[in-house]
Amino acid sequence: MNISEKEKKIIQSAMKLISSKGFSSTSIQEIAIESGISKGAFYLHFKSKEELLTAIFHYNFDSIINNVKFFEGTSLPPREKFIKQLTAFCESFLGHREFMVMLAREQAIPLNTNIKEMIYTKIFQMYSFLKDGLLAIYGPDIKPYSWDLTIMLEGMTKGFIKTMLFEDKNIEVKQLIAYMMNRLDSLVAGMQGEQPFISEEKAADIFHKATEYFSQNGQSDKTLIQQMKSMAKELEDSEDVLISLEVLEAEILSDKPRLPVIQGMLYNIKEVDALKEHSKLLINMYQLKL
């Protein structure tokens, strides 16, 4: 999200007020005064307080993610790279203290469909980042437990950030990350031989249902496939595409959908121009990497 310096000032002023007074008790007039502009000038940048709220979420999430992505292109060893990314992640959240306090202080913030979908997307991005980092460090042996470890690491990270949010003293984030990595080593060592609680299939099913729930247009996978079948019938060479869609539909409707089959069928059709947008929705819905 590209914002001007003036909009950045408005966002920061709004967060300061909302974190202390609450969203519903903060008026546009107060935000304008805090920003050093007139109320009329406010509306040149944001149409409403709700639009400003959406911008606040985008601004904070994008800033945090960009700080983590800074290390993606480096050639550091996996563990060292992950430690730096986790450190940047925690420091970024603590650096956006007013945003975090704003969320913690007032549960009644009106989260519209766009914001809910954005939050879900960012949460999944965080899960993917943590899971990929764990696999890079500990290797394929932890793959069956990768989601369990991801959820536990996310819980540790979130819990410590909340605890430190109201700590006035300087926080030793590097010390915290070192402590968390030691706990991860213990968790990995203790999981060998156990059955995972959240398998790859169960995780895919959970994220699929969550994606459907938070989807802005509310379309289900079954609806999307029906639409794709109708569009495919208009293609000149539709036979192979329709077969892939029939197999895909049957797999999704089965009691235990197999992700490799779903992935294979979507791979067959993802480059069909008429079906690209629908294919992308299904790929995202099942959290596949194609």
Query: What are the tens digits of pLDDT across the range 57-75?
Result: 888 888 888 888 888 777 8
Question: Could you tell me the residue range of the domain that residue 91 belongs to?
Answer: 5-191
Q: What sign has the CA pseudo-torsion 205, 290, 140, 262?
A: positive
pTM over 0.85: no
d(CA 74, CA 128): 18
Q: Which residues of 72-91 are buried (b: 16+ CB within 10 A; e: fewer)?
A: eeeeeeeeebbbbbbbbbbb
The pLDDT tens digits for 156-215 are 988 888 887 776 566 788 898 999 999 999 999 998 888 889 888 788 777 767 766 665
Q: Which whole number is the average pLDDT over 124-151?
A: 89
**Most distant CA pair in the chain: distance in Å?**
68
Total structural domains within the chain: 2
* C-alpha 30 chain-centroid distance: 32
Q: Is residue 202 part of a domain?
A: no
Verify that 183 and 248 share a domain, yes or no.
no
Domain finish residue from 175, 191, 207:
191
Select from 174, 191, 208 the last residue of a domain.
191
**Residue at which a domain ends, from 156, 174, 191:** 191
pLDDT at 223: 76
52 and 182 in a single domain? The answer is yes
**Confidence check: pLDDT of 108 > 60:** no
Within 8 A by CB and 6+ apart from 13, the residues are 31, 34, 35
What pLDDT was estimated at residue 216? 45
Average pLDDT over residues 232-250: 86
| 23 alpha carbon, distance to own chain's centre | 23
Residues 234 and 171 in one domain: no
pLDDT band at residue 149 under the 50/70/90 scheme: very high
Q: Is residue 204 part of a domain?
A: no
Lowest mean pLDDT of 117-126, 140-149, 176-185, 197-206, name the range.
Answer: 117-126
Is 175 part of a structural domain of the chain?
Answer: yes
Considering the domain architecture, whether residues 183 and 233 belong to the same structural domain is answered as no
Give the residue, 288 or 157, on which the prediction is more confident.
157
